[in-house]
Structure 1
């Protein structure tokens, strides 16, 4: 049981904890049961002690005060215990980051080759190979450091805060401040309210109707109530203690004042995270795609390198030279710049998105943004203006009634849970003076908080000593299910089937006008001292309805059309009434053939739901788990699903989606579950983000296609030349220098332009397509390599071992320039330079490569690299070969696009 719950913990909180407190990792195989009591005994004992301690004992233990810590006291404690972060969040030392940038398989292979060259006293090769390692490592180190700095700055814009009491050192008075979660220290006093994440392990000092969702920690599906005075045994599991709240859980309803008793790695979750982080990371979809592509190239290298070794060894008779050459070929096949290209491209995309009011919390999410083909979103605030107006307050027959407004106002005013937009509209729409005068007659007795199963909430108030009044408001069907009487023309009559039909007719008419209807009911109960519960919501009197208007945004219709043009299907997942949903969708131009409700979803198996969900655009009257299930079955069909939401009820679906999208005004739990935060709640902003995600992915794909195809062509050319030439077609040193120059030129790819056609549909990794591309386009370069061999052999008579330097110099230049030009050919499906132009940085880097390559053979460096100056008569031939190469590549590209398409 514990293993199952902890696996759920890892799955959920890898998406929800502040700043990714834990990475996605498998659970330890040797995890023990008993709710985590295999954690250090000191943690369990500390929790049990704090759960039973009095407030005075806690203040003394943590050197705190009921006014809160002072800034100086908090700073001193923070210096002693460290920030409120788990080990996974601690900033990485520069030397450790540098080591991680170095330790990829490609650099290790280069290092081995450099060591072999040094052992054989080949200092030239050692110098060149060592330069490749240093340049590759430093470029990645610098780019990632800049990327991480940019990402941290972006995340800081939407980082979560906690409401903390601070004592003023001069006045001694308490004041409330908002602090970043990582600044909390043991002894801090924290205020909690609905929607808050629990920022550390806390002991409740006072609470009112506080309900906490601990599902991910304990497996309990229902929220649990927390209070200041424990009713649990001393030695019970700390997770069951009703006075403790644990980092990473969240407040469903109510308010509380609590003391921080543990932070960072010393929290219950921090200890679990430390154990789990010892396991290997589970890659996400983006990382799996990169891994497949990398292994495609590595497998190709592992096959081709031995073939090159055998052919050169048998034909030349020098096995040592053949081994060095084959290792150089292996280096040429390795995409050592891939980590740097990926990181810098993602970082550039994230910074550009931030200018468009889109904050990327996790860089990998950018690719999922571009790959998204289904967007599931709530209706309120996304399609509509997120400004709800109280339009009507009527009795059960639809006649305006102030008594209904009064009951609704009492309910909204006295509830301590999350006041949503409906409550705000009620409070603002009521006549404030009159209500405040009436308020003086009432005392709040208790509250039954809202939950998404009941879809209603109640308050209990008293205006006389001998009776209480329970006032309940919520969704119409849920209120009708607990009503037995109706207030009709100042009389209370039974709720008959005929009256029920009439009520539904009236409310349906309101819904069809686009009004959201909330029912209001009440009953009088003899005064009592014990708490009220859900069971008390029965035999109520239906008083009437309050109806709200949430008009559509003007930008919604064009945004939906823009997303549709981008190949993104928008599906509406709302808890609202089907009639209201249909009216709003019609107003924004969204076609609605059929609507699936939450009750329909419950009747369907996953397979049936998957089939229905494919063709359904609008889902209404959904509970949170319905939304999560719909997102999950869509993903299982192979779709890349995004979910946009901002409420507590959206958190499960945000976690289940490939890419969770929220807004900066969302509740804490929604923001932490999301990968993308919008600073403006608009589908148009989202469409811009999708476009940038695709642009980022397209530029990453360019590098991989270029590397794969050119590497394949080079190896094919080497195999052909090795079989017929009496000498090596190129020295290992030449291959390394050529590869180094080419790799440096690729740093401009993240800044390249992207054709509109590549932005018009979702993009995702396809290793098979890359392999096919490599097989078709790689041999094209080999054709012209062989023509260059023939040119050097027959025209320039470089056909003896004494003339091999001239031969190798000719292929060195042709190979370098053809590799560079293929960048412009492969970057677009159009005609390069005419129909599609590369960005200025990429053009400049291309020109620099051409100048550098030709400059090398005419400079003193040529002798050091065992190259020589080429006769000027070589260059007209070179221009013809390169021009023919480009023409043939363009022709094959046209055929390839017609046959296989172009990603």
Structure 2
């Protein structure tokens, strides 16, 4: 009845904490695309998707009662009330009554219930009442703790915003009127009709705007697209992005292959588009299939695996000990029913019944404390990896630096200040509709441009070639008064140079020969040496009749100059790096930026360079060479998304617990490859979806505080597991020895269960306990083997004093006959409970308890209260209900001596264990 208890309970607790939320989408897709049904869209939905794909755009809008300028706010409110929020409920939180049943239905409570029924059948009303009270108390404590944990987890998740960009028709009219009144004021950098709304507020008929890095917020029909590539790997298993278009180019029977339909939960890799929402929430492809998936979790964490290993350790021990206890007591006492109930009680004593509640409560409390430090935990069980992290891979921009990039220079090819270069850069940033990054914002906010904002009135956008991480450049095509078209390209220096055959110097266009190329590289090198990030700007004129452009048109460009940006280091970075190093976390910088700029920033923040490895070098390395390189270097520059993922995987393969901190679409693969993915609330959607931890402030100092809190949380969980395993082992060993020599049971089943319950209640305060600073200075890894060694080392210590108690009760107080067994049992009940409870203070720290390290007041108060109850029970009016008897006053000096001896021996053995094996 009991052998799978820990595994079952822990899995049940994890299930109760899963809430309806967008964070689970990617994980659920991963479980879906392994099923054959994942590629088959339900028939009704398939018909709707095919109809929307075949119809022209006006027909689609009419069918949805939508408008090309978007819905009004009133339309949205009405549809939201009628159709509900855009949420997929793949695993609903348990209703209160069912949660209460789960809190009750564990083998511990079931066994107590069996004992209560037996007591009732034998007309023992008092025992029935007492046992029933115990069951109710145990169930209510667990139920209340879990409900609080669930609410805390949901509240934390709600703090992380995930939004979509939509067009609202009433805002078009409103802002158009404002523009008419304030024509000469600042021009906004994004279209006035676009606003950000929470994903859950989307409704069918919404017009959404998509760009690189966006999650597709619902099932949508593309209205307009430019070089739009969407990753559907989580849905179909296909690794390559799929290009999407506004029109249906190739009819297909499989709805997933429709070229003008995009699906909830997939993400935009590159390009830009506008689309109309067809279905939301449970009516989407994802929502329809979600109910077919039985689990949306990633593979179990090291902590989950470790808990299972500990449970099997105790199970194997129980398989050996419980039958022996049954046989010994059955043959020596002759009462097989009592021996059976006693053996079941021993089995309960071997199982830490409060483990699921302690784990859940500790994780929830840790997550709440971390949230106060601006760290939001999306998956509570990720806290263990957070505390175990020994390598942190992070980007440079916004982490080491202030994330406030300013346009420092705008120069021609030879490095002289050039207003023409600034104009071209501004037009490019202003008219692009893709992912506007910090560089674009810096250009648009440049102070020198405020008086020249009217220059955009002379230009009209013709087309756009969006950015992607392979080309590392993007272009816009504008028409100046309809005279001619200009293709303006900006991007990484080498990538732009690869598309240039001409160069403009002093207004004259010359061929880009070897000598000029060397001079160009020298100028950009000098700018990089100053810590400036350089972006090249190029252009070419094209015929006014040409209206459609592609990547193939980015050739034969003329290099006109550079714009250079400065992103100063944060003042907090240097102390944060020192703090992380002091706590055993090695920081490695992974960036797509130039190696010269990266090296200068690293030196300014005090990060000692152990070598810089470039992306092209990573490209040529095999797995063995990369495994060595990632250990020898701590700065990696000019990386592609694939390079970042390979580096993270190589570090993990070397045995490190790796955290990756990123906020861009190029970081998503590495975030999921890491043991612990860390992103920020301002990150692109796909990065937030892939992360386990969200920082509300992009700072290594915040991260360092979160790491420490994660380690404290993990320490408190380990306290309960280690203490319970060792004390339970000692008790069972004592029971086995006593059963072989005593003419009666050393403790009645009811007494053993009461003692076990009181001990477990005393542990409820462990999540609130303090942790020694020395224990969180290094990464904490889960080692189930250490639990077994700890149990075998400290468990028998309590048995020595149990045997001393047996001798005391037998020889000193003459409790040596069945008639005196209640006195014997009462004496051991008190000693066992007091030593079990005090061991919390002895083993919670490697230091001297109460002197060098004191427990938090809730734990001290709870353990003191339980000790008082344990001593009072045999002396009070309830003693008869538990078959206990009052103890003579002469017993208590012996009790003090036994407890003191136990504390001294445990402290001495703790010192030996610490020197031999270490503490954690």
Query: TM-score, normalized by length of structure 1?
Result: 0.93
Which ranges of structure 2 fall in alignment gaps of 5 or more residues? Answer: 1-17, 177-192
**3-state SS of 1:547 partner:** strand
Please name the residue that 1:157 is paired with. 159
Establish whether residue 812 from structure 1 lines up as the match of residue 825 from structure 2: no
Establish whether residue 623 from structure 1 lines up as the match of residue 640 from structure 2: yes
Please name the residue that 1:798 is paired with. 815
Q: 1:411 aligns with which of 428, 442, 446?
A: 428
**3-state SS of 2:588 partner:** strand
Aligned 8 A contact 1:375 1:643 in 2 = yes
Aligned 8 A contact 1:22 1:277 in 2 = no
Q: CA deviation at 1:223?
A: 4.5
CA–CA distance in structure 2, aligned partners of residues 666 and 215 of structure 1: 21
**3-state SS of 1:87 partner:** coil
Deviations along 1:821-842, one digit per CA (max 9) or x if unpaired, are 0000000000000000011111
Aligned 8 A contact 1:25 1:280 in 2 = no
Aligned 8 A contact 1:164 1:189 in 2 = yes
Q: 2:235 aligns with which of 213, 217, 231?
A: 217
CA–CA distance in structure 2, aligned partners of residues 121 and 152 of structure 1: 47
Q: 2:24 aligns with which of 20, 25, 28?
A: 20
Q: CA deviation at 1:443?
A: 2.2
Within a 5 Å distance, the mapping from 1:94-493 to structure 2 comes to: 94-104=96-106, 106-108=108-110, 111=113, 127=129, 129-165=131-167, 178-207=196-225, 210-219=228-237, 223-233=241-251, 235-253=252-270, 255-277=272-294, 282-429=299-446, 431-432=448-449, 435-463=452-480, 465=482, 467-493=484-510
Q: 2:770 aligns with which of 727, 737, 753?
A: 753
Query: In the superposition, relative to structure 1, how do residues 776 and 30 fare at CA in structure 2: closer, same or farther (>3 Å)?
Result: closer
Deviations along 1:782-837, one digit per CA (max 9) or x if unpaired, are 00000000000001111111111110000000000000100000000000000000
Q: CA deviation at 1:387?
A: 1.0
Query: In the superposition, relative to structure 1, how do residues 164 and 136 fare at CA in structure 2: closer, same or farther (>3 Å)?
Result: farther
**3-state SS of 2:36 partner:** coil
Q: CA deviation at 1:664?
A: 1.7
Query: In the superposition, relative to structure 1, how do residues 17 and 840 fare at CA in structure 2: closer, same or farther (>3 Å)?
Result: closer
Please name the residue that 2:578 is paired with. 561
Q: CA deviation at 1:160?
A: 1.3
Q: 2:668 aligns with which of 651, 664, 680?
A: 651
**3-state SS of 2:320 partner:** helix
Please name the residue that 1:8 is paired with. none
CA–CA distance in structure 2, aligned partners of residues 22 and 522 of structure 1: 40
Q: CA deviation at 1:74?
A: 4.7
Deviations along 1:585-633, one digit per CA (max 9) or x if unpaired, are 0111111121111111111122321221122110000111211221122
CA–CA distance in structure 1, aligned partners of residues 538 and 757 of structure 2: 76
Q: CA deviation at 1:57?
A: 3.4
CA–CA distance in structure 2, aligned partners of residues 157 and 844 of structure 1: 34
CA–CA distance in structure 1, aligned partners of residues 916 and 734 of structure 2: 26
Query: In the superposition, relative to structure 1, how do residues 722 and 539 fare at CA in structure 2: closer, same or farther (>3 Å)?
Result: same
Q: CA deviation at 1:473?
A: 1.1
Q: CA deviation at 1:458?
A: 1.1
Which ranges of structure 1 fall in alignment gaps of 5 or more residues? Answer: 1-13
Deviations along 1:162-215, one digit per CA (max 9) or x if unpaired, are 34455779x999976644322333333434344332111112334556543334
Please name the residue that 2:179 is paired with. none
Please name the residue that 1:637 is paired with. 654
Establish whether residue 581 from structure 1 lines up as the match of residue 598 from structure 2: yes
Establish whether residue 518 from structure 1 lines up as the match of residue 529 from structure 2: no
Moved more, 17-26 or 190-199: 17-26
Q: CA deviation at 1:50?
A: 1.4
CA–CA distance in structure 2, aligned partners of residues 615 and 108 of structure 1: 57
Q: 2:790 aligns with which of 755, 765, 773?
A: 773
Q: CA deviation at 1:468?
A: 2.6
Please name the residue that 2:587 is paired with. 570
Moved more, 648-657 or 690-699: 648-657
Deviations along 1:617-671, one digit per CA (max 9) or x if unpaired, are 1000011121122112212222221111112211221122222111222222222
Q: CA deviation at 1:370?
A: 1.1
Aligned 8 A contact 2:19 2:93 in 1 = no
Aligned 8 A contact 1:22 1:273 in 2 = no
CA–CA distance in structure 1, aligned partners of residues 741 and 474 of structure 2: 85
Query: In the superposition, relative to structure 1, how do residues 105 and 628 fare at CA in structure 2: closer, same or farther (>3 Å)?
Result: farther
CA–CA distance in structure 2, aligned partners of residues 397 and 211 of structure 1: 37
Query: In the superposition, relative to structure 1, how do residues 251 and 435 fare at CA in structure 2: closer, same or farther (>3 Å)?
Result: farther
CA–CA distance in structure 2, aligned partners of residues 24 and 331 of structure 1: 36
Query: In the superposition, relative to structure 1, how do residues 113 and 67 fare at CA in structure 2: closer, same or farther (>3 Å)?
Result: farther
Aligned 8 A contact 1:265 1:274 in 2 = no
CA–CA distance in structure 2, aligned partners of residues 303 and 897 of structure 1: 30
CA–CA distance in structure 2, aligned partners of residues 181 and 25 of structure 1: 18
Query: In the superposition, relative to structure 1, how do residues 332 and 155 fare at CA in structure 2: closer, same or farther (>3 Å)?
Result: same
Deviations along 1:268-302, one digit per CA (max 9) or x if unpaired, are 22234332336897423332222222222222222
**3-state SS of 1:660 partner:** strand
Q: CA deviation at 1:385?
A: 0.8
Q: CA deviation at 1:251?
A: 3.2
Deviations along 1:409-458, one digit per CA (max 9) or x if unpaired, are 22112211111111111222263256434433332221111111111111
CA–CA distance in structure 2, aligned partners of residues 428 and 81 of structure 1: 41
Query: In the superposition, relative to structure 1, how do residues 40 and 236 fare at CA in structure 2: closer, same or farther (>3 Å)?
Result: closer
Aligned 8 A contact 1:467 1:525 in 2 = yes
Q: 1:694 aligns with which of 711, 719, 731?
A: 711
Deviations along 1:204-235, one digit per CA (max 9) or x if unpaired, are 334556543334334555554444433332x4
Please name the residue that 1:4 is paired with. none
Aligned 8 A contact 2:762 2:862 in 1 = yes
Please name the residue that 1:506 is paired with. 523
Deviations along 1:285-336, one digit per CA (max 9) or x if unpaired, are 3322222222222222222111211221222222221111100101111111
CA–CA distance in structure 1, aligned partners of residues 55 and 78 of structure 2: 24
**3-state SS of 1:260 partner:** strand
Moved more, 876-885 or 105-114: 105-114
CA–CA distance in structure 1, aligned partners of residues 68 and 388 of structure 2: 52
CA–CA distance in structure 2, aligned partners of residues 530 and 173 of structure 1: 29
Q: 2:90 aligns with which of 76, 88, 91?
A: 88
Tell me how large the CA RMSD over aligned residues is: 2.7
Please name the residue that 2:14 is paired with. none
CA–CA distance in structure 1, aligned partners of residues 754 and 884 of structure 2: 11
**3-state SS of 1:802 partner:** helix
Query: TM-score, normalized by length of structure 2?
Result: 0.91
Number of positions where the alignment pairs a residue of Structure 1 with one of Structure 2: 886
CA–CA distance in structure 2, aligned partners of residues 193 and 221 of structure 1: 20
Please name the residue that 1:7 is paired with. none
**3-state SS of 1:198 partner:** coil
Aligned 8 A contact 2:226 2:273 in 1 = yes
Aligned 8 A contact 1:610 1:633 in 2 = yes
Query: In the superposition, relative to structure 1, how do residues 844 and 423 fare at CA in structure 2: closer, same or farther (>3 Å)?
Result: same
**3-state SS of 2:738 partner:** helix
Query: In the superposition, relative to structure 1, how do residues 132 and 666 fare at CA in structure 2: closer, same or farther (>3 Å)?
Result: same
CA–CA distance in structure 1, aligned partners of residues 832 and 295 of structure 2: 46
Establish whether residue 534 from structure 1 lines up as the match of residue 551 from structure 2: yes
Please name the residue that 2:180 is paired with. none
Please name the residue that 1:711 is paired with. 728
CA–CA distance in structure 2, aligned partners of residues 95 and 70 of structure 1: 41
Q: CA deviation at 1:863?
A: 1.0
CA–CA distance in structure 2, aligned partners of residues 604 and 359 of structure 1: 37
Please name the residue that 1:3 is paired with. none
CA–CA distance in structure 2, aligned partners of residues 624 and 702 of structure 1: 40
Query: In the superposition, relative to structure 1, how do residues 178 and 534 fare at CA in structure 2: closer, same or farther (>3 Å)?
Result: closer
